[in-house]
Chains A and B, each alone.
Chain A
Amino acid sequence: MSTGATANLLPEFERVFARLPGDARVTERRRAALARFAASGFPSQREEAWRYTSIAGLARRQHSVATDAQISPDRARAALAAAGPWDGPQCVFIDGIHRPDLSAAVAAVGLRIRPFATAVAEDSRIGERIAGWGAEELAPMIALNAAFAADGVVIEVADDAEPADPLRLLFVMTAGVRDRAIFPRVIVRAGQRSRLILLEQYLGESGADGFTNTVTQVHAGEGARVAHYRLQDESAKAYHVGNLIVNQERASEVVSHSLSFGALMARQDIHVMLRGPESSVTLNGLYMAEGRQHVDHHTRIDHFEPGTRSEEYYKGILGGHGRGVFNGKVVVHPNAIKTDAQQSNKNLLLSRDAEVDTKPELEIYADDVKCAHGATVGQLDEDALFYLRSRGLDESAARALLTYAFAGDILGRLGIARVQKDLAVRIAGRLPGAAELLEVV
């Protein structure tokens, strides 16, 4: 059940649809998706999947859907600097709209990158691939993105192609327009035995209080290897709802890292479908919340075929009145014998008012499978704190060091050195008394 609240998004669609990419057929599909969204509206906490997470604030907004990218050169430079250095190829988006002038060219054999708007305009078949365009079963937030998707990127990696450099997609939310609403769509098709490393990075100008609703679809062909990094560090007033949908063919390997630090309310759904035998997925995650921040990860892995493997490793650090939610669902379908599914979620509470809800959900319909899960919620080890203080570290430095250490093994799992470094600084920067930490990271 839900409230059916759609805020002003139905009239907003009438205002902007002519500026959204695609021909009349695409517009029809957008309308269908909008109808799907309108049928249920923004999810309410009466729905099991949204029980711990309220986005009621969104249902009351006067959303202003972004269809162009306005930013002064100075502010653009500042945003790029805040994102951290990147010497490889990247696509930059301002309020969800691609800005070729701020992006860095991509030249790699077998790698084709098109802005979403261009791809939709020049390739009618692309519509068939857009989740939400015609599929009624999809979640309302994916349908909402399908209705409004204004830009984004379509990435195609040819069979056997292995572009060496990681590709960054940088999404900047600007401040200044009230109740900004941004709907990026990222589509990745990795051909057979191809390889791709992709970073999606979301950040906002200070005070940007908009709503980002993003959908990323990844299709990993037979034997393909895809590493997907997602770094969400929006401004402290933003709403962020992300969806990652992954389909995997035989013997493909996907690794996802979801790193969530920013936004007032951040929700990330990850749905992986292991459709080919021997395919495997690793989901790593690290989330931090402080102040009144709320961060929610909902993951679902479907094992459809024999010999599929999944490993999930999430950690959360909650301080202040911060709230964390982790829900890890694994479904082993009848055909998926010899499945191996491991899941772990560990949480560190730094204050009495911080809170976390963690829930594993296993549904197993096959025999001869190996499934395990574990979840922990704890505080900093008092003995370790005392030990460090007895050596001369003050209490805040000792707490920072132990907190940083808690996140350490997630950092160790990151394959891009620059992301690792960037993340280390971001974590240290959030810990009181961590000034000294910065010299080690």
Chain B
Amino acid sequence: MTMLSIRNLHAAVEGKSILKGLNLEVKPGEVHAIMGPNGSGKSTLAHVLSGRDAYEVTEGSILFQGKDLLGMSPEERAREGVFLAFQYPVEIPGVNNVYMLKAALNAIRRHRGEPELDAVDFLKIIKEKAKLVQMDERFLSRAVNEGFSGGEKKRNEILQMAVLEPRLALLDETDSGLDIDALRVVAHGVNQLRRSDRAIVMITHYQRLLEHIVPDFVHVLAGGRIVKSGGRELAVTLEERGYDWLKDEAA
């Protein structure tokens, strides 16, 4: 069964049309990479999938596990199992990392009809998961992303993904702002989270992330549409030749 099915998606921001007929099918267990030049609509796709209300869908449909994703609020999407790792994780002063994650996980568990976790059980889980991204426990009790470096923020995103255990994870430019060591840690964390019943969609400008998280499929987004799809070798071609040769195909 298809996990995510995007059909003829058109989306606009402030009246400006960005996505112009995007199609994408993602099955459980698959890792997809969506690449493309700046302004091609990559981030818009991530925002539309997560339910950001500044983005207006003008045409098309998105089904997630057979349900109409566009009809769901951001929190409903999260509870159904969609997770977005933000390109720019938000700093939230005064809100404790552990508390936020516990509230989030329990909201998701309630939705699934599972019992809520108490503080003790939750701490066990989060400490376990923190190891996955080599995150110091001190960060857990700090305010969400406050004063975190770029790398720490991205690691925190992957930690959240590990705790919330989504069906579909969207990684929006997760490699941006990372040095090579931090990239390895983050990629290692993501690889540990690959599962046969979980799909991952990575949105990235550069091929370098794909050396560490090897995708099953690579798609090139240009002019608001996917103009080429292939295996991981497509990423290598893009690295060598850039995006220009595809713009002609898009036109």
Given contacts A394-B107, A406-B94, whether A440 and B50 have CB atoms under 8 Å apart is no
Given contacts A392-B79, A436-B103, whether A405 and B74 have CB atoms under 8 Å apart is no
Q: Determine the distance from Cα of A331 to Cα of B77 in the docked complex, in whole angstroms.
A: 55
- Report A-chain residues with C-beta under 8 Å of the C-beta of B83: 390
Q: Are B50 and A390 in contact (CB under 8 A)?
A: yes
Contact of A392 among B78, B96, B99, B143 (CB under 8 A): B78
Q: Are A401 and B75 in contact (CB under 8 A)?
A: no
- Report B-chain residues with C-beta under 8 Å of the C-beta of A402: 92, 94-95
- Report B-chain residues with C-beta under 8 Å of the C-beta of A406: 94
* Minimum CB–CB distance for A42 against chain B, Å: 39
- Report A-chain residues with C-beta under 8 Å of the C-beta of B90: 381, 383-384, 386-387
Q: Determine the distance from Cα of A224 to Cα of B83 in the docked complex, in whole angstroms.
A: 56
Contact of A397 among B84, B101, B103 (CB under 8 A): B103
The answer to the question of A88 belonging to the interface, with a C-beta cut-off of 8 Å to chain B, is no
- B43-86 vs A: 1/0 string, CB under 8 Å? 00000001110000000000000000000011101110001101
Q: Are A440 and B99 in contact (CB under 8 A)?
A: yes
The answer to the question of A388 belonging to the interface, with a C-beta cut-off of 8 Å to chain B, is yes
Q: Are B75 and A394 in contact (CB under 8 A)?
A: yes
The answer to the question of A389 belonging to the interface, with a C-beta cut-off of 8 Å to chain B, is yes
Most buried by A among B51, B79, B95, B99: B95
Residue of A whose beta carbon sits closest to that of B50: A390
- Report A-chain residues with C-beta under 8 Å of the C-beta of B50: 390
Q: Determine the distance from Cα of A3 to Cα of B91 in the docked complex, in whole angstroms.
A: 51
Q: Are B94 and A392 in contact (CB under 8 A)?
A: no
Interface Cβ pair total, 8 Å cutoff: 79
Q: Are B95 and A405 in contact (CB under 8 A)?
A: yes
Q: Interface residue count for A (Cβ, 8 Å)? A: 23
The answer to the question of B89 belonging to the interface, with a C-beta cut-off of 8 Å to chain A, is yes
- Report B-chain residues with C-beta under 8 Å of the C-beta of A392: 75, 78-79, 104-105, 107-108, 111, 164
Q: Are B92 and A391 in contact (CB under 8 A)?
A: no
The answer to the question of B242 belonging to the interface, with a C-beta cut-off of 8 Å to chain A, is no
The answer to the question of B93 belonging to the interface, with a C-beta cut-off of 8 Å to chain A, is yes
The answer to the question of B160 belonging to the interface, with a C-beta cut-off of 8 Å to chain A, is yes
Most buried by B among A381, A384, A389, A406: A389
- Report B-chain residues with C-beta under 8 Å of the C-beta of A436: 103, 106
Q: Determine the distance from Cα of A381 to Cα of B144 in the docked complex, in whole angstroms.
A: 14
Given contacts A392-B78, A395-B75, A397-B103, whether A387 and B92 have CB atoms under 8 Å apart is yes
Residue of A whose beta carbon sits closest to that of B91: A384
Chain B interface residue bracket vs A: 20 to 34
* Minimum CB–CB distance for B116 against chain A, Å: 10
Q: Determine the distance from Cα of A288 to Cα of B240 in the docked complex, in whole angstroms.
A: 60
Q: Determine the distance from Cα of A34 to Cα of B222 in the docked complex, in whole angstroms.
A: 81
- Report B-chain residues with C-beta under 8 Å of the C-beta of A440: 96, 99
Given contacts A388-B100, A392-B164, whether A405 and B79 have CB atoms under 8 Å apart is no
Q: Determine the distance from Cα of A274 to Cα of B73 in the docked complex, in whole angstroms.
A: 55
The answer to the question of A176 belonging to the interface, with a C-beta cut-off of 8 Å to chain B, is no
Most buried by B among A384, A391, A394, A395: A391
- A349-393 vs B: 1/0 string, CB under 8 Å? 000000000000000000000000000000001011011111111
The answer to the question of A409 belonging to the interface, with a C-beta cut-off of 8 Å to chain B, is yes
Residue of A whose beta carbon sits closest to that of B119: A439
Q: Are B78 and A401 in contact (CB under 8 A)?
A: no
Q: Determine the distance from Cα of A394 to Cα of B111 in the docked complex, in whole angstroms.
A: 11
* Minimum CB–CB distance for B161 against chain A, Å: 10
Q: Determine the distance from Cα of A395 to Cα of B107 in the docked complex, in whole angstroms.
A: 12
Q: Determine the distance from Cα of A406 to Cα of B108 in the docked complex, in whole angstroms.
A: 25
Q: Determine the distance from Cα of A387 to Cα of B87 in the docked complex, in whole angstroms.
A: 12
Q: Determine the distance from Cα of A404 to Cα of B101 in the docked complex, in whole angstroms.
A: 16
* Contact residues, B10-54 vs A (CB, 8 A): 50-52
Q: Are A389 and B103 in contact (CB under 8 A)?
A: no
- Report B-chain residues with C-beta under 8 Å of the C-beta of A291: none
Q: Determine the distance from Cα of A404 to Cα of B77 in the docked complex, in whole angstroms.
A: 25
Supplied contacts A392-B111, A393-B103, 4 more A-B pairs, CB within 8 Å: A387-B144, A388-B95, A391-B104, A409-B94
CB pairs A–B below 8 angstroms (29 shown): A381-B90, A383-B90, A384-B90, A386-B90, A387-B89, A387-B92, A388-B92, A388-B100, A389-B75, A390-B51, A390-B75, A390-B86, A391-B100, A391-B104, A391-B160, A392-B75, A392-B79, A393-B75, A393-B103, A393-B104, A394-B75, A397-B107, A401-B100, A402-B95, A405-B92, A405-B94, A408-B94, A436-B106, A440-B99
Give B contacts to A, CB under 8 Å.
50-52, 73-75, 77-79, 83-84, 86, 89-96, 99-101, 103-108, 111, 143-144, 160, 164
Give A contacts to B, CB under 8 Å.
381, 383-384, 386-395, 397, 401-402, 404-406, 408-409, 436, 440
